Chain A
Amino acid sequence: MPEKTIESITVKRLDILNESGEADSSLMPSLSDDEIRKMYELLILSRVFDEHALNLQREGRIGTYAPIFGQEASQIGSACALERSDWIFPSFRESGVYIAIGYPIHMLFQYWAGDERGLITPEDLNIFPICIPVGTHIPHATGAAFAAKYKGDKTAAIAYFGDGGTSKGDFHEGFNMAGVFKLPVVFLCQNNQWAISVPRERQSASRTLAQKACAYGFEGIQVDGNDIFAVYKATRDALEKARHGGGPTFIECYTYRMSHHTTADDATRYRKEEEVEAWKLKDPILRLKLFMEKKRMWTEQYQKEVEDKSKTIVDNAVITAESISPSQPGDILAYTFETLTSRQSNQMKDF
């Protein structure tokens, strides 16, 4: 008997806004001018935050920090598509997501300075504490989506991770279960081309990361991760699908880590300057600026106002973070269980 092709896959790629700031109007999501301005202002604010965080680390005022430079559109674009009731499972490189959902900025500085209290999510937000081990939070999003579906909530979950995360076992296990139970979850990978010093082609021989979703029985799409409109549209559509019983979606945001892995890393040891230079032209903020300029939504004056306002917000957040009184040493023990064990009560006497 002849062999037959029993499955073939196609992988879509979405681009809306090009490097010259021209948008494909047939694909353009419906966004008011105010919404576009808000996106732009969040991009600037998150970049200003990132720069401040780097400086503070260099001055020894915060600890190791994972910069988002270059990935702002992937983060702000996707976060702007979320409903307040949706559940977010972030990795350690998600400052833009936190800022976009209105997480108190001073708490981010507080966390990166080494104070767990920075992760006490305000009651009206559903963002999980930052996950340090790569990719291990992916099954958590699957479980939260299961719980939302079980309870009949119109809530979706979203997990953020990077290209390195797609190599982990928990990526497979989380995706696998989400596909089997057709859960309301969006998996968003910021493929920033580098996992510390290991380039994307060493993470997987797969031509795209997006196509991995096909093996789990749901759709994967690659989007230009530096194109905020494409990221927003893909995320919004995926969330909409999730809330209406359509199951999971995997979005690969094709982007670039412009900075070091963290402040403890030196990217010049393993990658070429030309590569970084080439990506500068694809900057996510620059192209939205060009788009807005064409629409007469951007002026030098506006830029200055947005930058000044962002700097003020971030400066104030630093002041607030640094004026918070230190946490009590007893906090080390106090949050292990709901109540202290008798042995812990004895250990507490040390404080």
Chain B
Amino acid sequence: MPGNSKKLNMVQAINLALREEMQRDKNVILLGEDVGLDGGVFRVSDGLQKEFGAERIVDTPLEESGIVGAAIGMAVYGLRPVAEIQFMGFIYAAVDQIYSHASRIRSRSRGRYTCPLVIRTPYGAGIKPPELHSESAEAFFCHMPGVKVVVPSTPYTAKGLLISAIRDPDPVIFLESTRLYRLIKEEVPEGEYTIPLGKARIVQEGKEVTLIAWGSMLHRTLQAAEGLDAEVIDLMTLSPFDEETIFRSVKKTGRVVIVHEAPKTCGFGAELSATIAEDAMLYMKAPIMRVTGYDAVMPLPKLEDHYVPTFERIRKAIEEIMKY
């Protein structure tokens, strides 16, 4: 049961979720590069090795495919591993393990073996790092049947979603926005509460336009929605995503703007647009708009702010469809 709450940032909220789940279930273990002694490069697992020991908070060699591959073996054996990939740009080395194995073990064995595994990884722009430290590759994983993709946008939802992810019987990719790690603090209760996977939340109700975002882009979208009669949806889980909440909202507003950091082409916004076009076209008053990163690699920090959707670009898109 949830207990006292404290003002926490997202790093602290995720740390709390990990700690509580590890206290609850001895099968939950954490593995990854620098997660133990150092507490992770973002300090997400700070203090956990001291509390749970090096057997459970495991500093691994520098091998992303090996980390995910070993975590698969652990999960199938009966543990509940939480693997950390230090930055999303380094998960590409482990995509083979995720796509060829983690996502298929249940299906390949017709349910005889399962792979309850969480892969946490920091994603997105915002901390001005070197190349490949600001990737937003969520759509890759949404295209993989058998993998769930979760992107929290606040400390409170991060804790509840991570607890659900750890308890989920299937593999979950859990994306943590580096920009949001320490940006906002909010009340986060101690003790157990979960936020179900596959459900979106309406952050702001409105009647004129629906704005859909997740992770770091939610906050910029909320700023752009200020003063407007806009409904803002925080998708939270991208795969499987909450079609019902989206349909209910767009049928009411007839207008939709989707905002994400990743490149436009085949980004997750494409899936959302297609879904809305297929099933809610007749309710639409205006074309579906996407405000996204560009079809180019994420630049180094000097140009980063030109790549990621800005307040102005989101606002402009809203104004555009409000003309209809």
Contacts and interface: CB of A to CB of B under 8 A. Distances in A.
Interface of A: 87, 89, 116-117, 119-121, 128-129, 131, 133, 136-148, 150-151, 157, 169-170, 172-174, 176-177, 180, 331, 335-338, 341-344
Contacts of A180: 60-61
B240 A136 contact: no
21 contacts: A119-B108, A119-B110, A121-B109, A136-B69, A136-B101, A139-B73, A140-B72, A142-B66, A143-B70, A144-B76, A148-B77, A170-B66, A170-B97, A173-B65, A173-B66, A177-B63, A180-B61, A335-B107, A337-B106, A337-B148, A338-B169
B309 to A, nearest CB: 27
Interface stretch (B111-119, B180-188, B208-216, B286-294): B111-119
B105 A144 contact: no
Most chain A CB inside 10 Å of its own CB: which residue of B76, B113, B145: B76
B78 interface: yes
Contacts of A129: 105, 108-109, 112-113
A128 B76 CA distance: 9
A331 B110 contact: yes
A206 to B, nearest CB: 20
A147 B66 contact: no
Q: Which 9 A-B pairs have the closest CB atoms?
A: A143-B73, A139-B69, A173-B66, A143-B70, A341-B240, A147-B77, A140-B73, A144-B73, A173-B63
Nearest to A130: B108
B170 interface: yes
A142 to B, nearest CB: 5
B146 A336 contact: yes
Given A133-B100, A150-B79, A139 B243 contact: no
A137 B75 CA distance: 14
Nearest to B101: A136
A142 B108 CA distance: 20
A176 B61 CA distance: 8
Contacts, number: 140
B51 interface: no
Nearest to A180: B61
Contacts of A151: 77-79
A343 B240 contact: yes
A144 B61 CA distance: 17
Contact of A342 (B69, B110, B244): B244
Given A143-B71, A143-B73, A177 B107 contact: no
A303 B97 CA distance: 45
Contact of A120 (B71, B105, B112, B146): B112
Given A143-B72, A144-B76, A338-B170, 12 more contacts: A119-B112, A121-B113, A131-B101, A139-B65, A140-B72, A150-B79, A173-B61, A176-B61, A335-B106, A335-B110, A337-B106, A342-B243
Nearest to B64: A173
A188 to B, nearest CB: 16
Contact of B109 (A120, A136, A174, A344): A120
Interface string B148-184: 1000000000000000000001100000000000000
Contact of B60 (A128, A150, A177): A177
Chain A contact residues: helix, strand, loop or mixed: helix
Contacts of A148: 77
B106 A336 contact: yes
Most chain A CB inside 10 Å of its own CB: which residue of B56, B73, B78: B73
Contacts of B101: 131, 136-137, 140
Contacts of B145: 336
Contacts of A139: 65-66, 68-70, 72-73, 97
Contacts of B76: 128, 140, 143-144
Contacts of B244: 342
A117 B100 CA distance: 18
A227 B207 CA distance: 77
Nearest to A155: B77
A170 B110 contact: no
Interface residues of B, number: 45
Contacts of A140: 69-70, 72-73, 76, 101
A334 to B, nearest CB: 8
Nearest to B103: A336
Contacts of B106: 335-338
Contacts of B108: 116, 119, 129
Contacts of B240: 341-344
Contacts of A338: 106, 114, 169-170
A176 B70 CA distance: 11
A142 B77 contact: no
Nearest to B148: A337
B70 A121 contact: no
B74 interface: yes
Nearest to B106: A335
A140 B70 CA distance: 5
B106 to A, nearest CB: 5
Contacts of B69: 136, 138-140, 142-143, 170, 173-174
B97 A335 contact: no
A111 B71 CA distance: 26
B29 interface: yes
B40 interface: no
B96 interface: yes
A129 to B, nearest CB: 5
Contacts of A157: 73
Interface string B90-107: 000100110011000111
Nearest to A121: B112
A61 B61 CA distance: 46
B131 interface: no
A119 B75 CA distance: 18
B20 interface: no
Contacts of B126: none
A142 B169 contact: no
Contacts of B78: 147, 151
B47 interface: no
